[in-house]
Amino acid sequence: MATKRAARWRAAGRARRGLVGCFQAFVLSLCAAVAVTGCGDDLPLPPPADAAAGGERQATAFLEAMRPRGPGRPVVAVLARNEGTELTDFLVTHGVLRRADVAEVRAVAPRRGRVRLYPALEVEIDQDLAAFDRAYPDGADYVIVPALDDADDPVINDWLQRQAARGARIVAVCAGTLILGHAGLLDGRRFTSHWYFRGALLERHPSARYVPHQRYVADGAIATTTGITASIPAMLALVEAIGGRERAREVAAELGVDAWSPVHDSSPYGLTFGRATDYLLSKAAFWRNQRWRVDVRNGMDDEALALAVDAWTRTGHVRVVPAAEAGTVTLRSGLVLVTPPVDADLPRLPLKAGLKPVQQFRRTLCEIGVRYGEARLAWVKMELEYGEALDCAGTPPAREGGRA
């Protein structure tokens, strides 16, 4: 069993170093899983019967751990890696915190300039790590760590270690937990992560303890979350810790959610031979992929854009490129989206005007189910680690080619 897990860890590590983001890491990892074991993460989980009581404890622990430690407006650094950063992990965390306006929020990367997001889009960042350190010599109050294409970048590891030594609270989203592990910040702590990596993380960090059935977990100055869609509840909890419950409620209402409890049933998430085979066969049919355009505009919600594009791309049938009338587009958060020339005749990714970000996301999932079937929808939800029930009654099918 340990040998099989180690083989999967090595395969996942090679994929993370050579490809971009969690999504492409899945492709090679699943190949190894099907060929070698026929299954994915085999970590046994306890039943979620006491998850509600545990959720109250985790929520309280998170708030206490993440409350500001001094007067004044705290500084939050949202980390990216230029070569590859997970789309939703980055745009949603940065967007929610900017929307809340309870802290100074800075997007940072090893180099200023373009950051490639995965599975789609690119943004421009105007502050590198060195410039951030000059501007904030005492360090950040908080650092947000998304999933990155290389979990063992020495520049990022060193910077995170220095931020932690200066007292920063660090929140790793999804497979950002892998980065914390390589930076030496996970050993001896309770943690969670994207379901695919939980067993491998425990093997690499035997003194750490995985906490199931919780969307976000805090242990001292380190917090971690489950898969990609945990970015919204975790950031709302951070907004509550910094700006209070009422401000978090206001931001949640703008996003289209009612609550941000950490309670989360981890049981449904895992690979089977059938799931892995279905996914690999779908990815092998690359000739069926369509290139869609997503129309973007100044002031567009980062969160709605990220969630919709991420979900459609993870069907394995769609590649998304941004299209704009102007040369550049500045999103609601202030990030500049790269908008290269795009064929005007490309089919459009269906977005409905007037929906809040999470409403748009849920509509997107329903449209995916109508277009590609329940099995494909189930896979997309599993990759995004999204477990809420959907009411898809009356969802119109996207017209051929993706036109709404």
Q: Assess whether 174 carries a catalytic annotation.
A: yes
The CA-based angle 312-16-161, given to 5 degrees, is 115
Please say if the pLDDT value at position 57 is more than 80: yes
Q: Is residue 158 part of a domain?
A: yes
- Average of per-residue pLDDT values in the chain: 87
pLDDT, tens digit (0-9, with 9 covering 90-100), for 185-202: 999 999 999 999 999 999
Alpha-carbon distance of 291 to 86, in angstroms, equals 20
Q: Is residue 282 part of a domain?
A: no
Q: Is residue 129 part of a domain?
A: yes
Does the CA dihedral 342-354-386-261 come out positive or negative? Answer: positive
Confidence band, pLDDT 50/70/90 cuts, at residue 28: very low
Strands of 58-156 (E only): list them. Answer: 75-79, 85-86, 104-108, 113-118, 122-125, 142-145
Q: Is residue 401 part of a domain?
A: no
Going by C-beta distance under 8 Å and a sequence separation of 6 or more, which residues neighbour residue 240? 63, 247, 248, 260
Domain that holds residue 64: 51-255
Give the CATH number, domain containing residue 242. Answer: 3.40.50.880
What is residue 327's predicted lDDT score, i.e. its pLDDT?
A: 74
Q: Is residue 66 part of a domain?
A: yes
Q: Could you tell me if residue 388 is left (phi over 0), alpha (psi between -120 and 50 degrees) or otherwise beta?
A: beta
Q: Is residue 286 part of a domain?
A: no
What is residue 19's predicted lDDT score, i.e. its pLDDT?
A: 37
Strands of 69-121 (E only): list them. Answer: 75-79, 85-86, 104-108, 113-118
Confidence band, pLDDT 50/70/90 cuts, at residue 403: very low
Question: How many domains, in total, are found in the chain?
Answer: 1
Confidence band, pLDDT 50/70/90 cuts, at residue 15: very low
Confidence band, pLDDT 50/70/90 cuts, at residue 100: very high
Q: Which of 22, 174, 366, 392 is catalytic?
A: 174
Tokens standing for 58?
């985790």
Strand order in the sheet with 222-225: 104-108, 75-79, 142-145, 169-172, 222-225, 216-219
Number of helices (H) and strands (E), helices first, in the chain?
Answer: 14, 15
pLDDT, tens digit (0-9, with 9 covering 90-100), for 249-295: 999 999 999 999 999 999 888 876 666 666 666 655 554 579 999 99
DSSP 388: -
Q: Is residue 357 part of a domain?
A: no
Q: Is residue 316 part of a domain?
A: no
What is residue 398's predicted lDDT score, i.e. its pLDDT?
A: 61
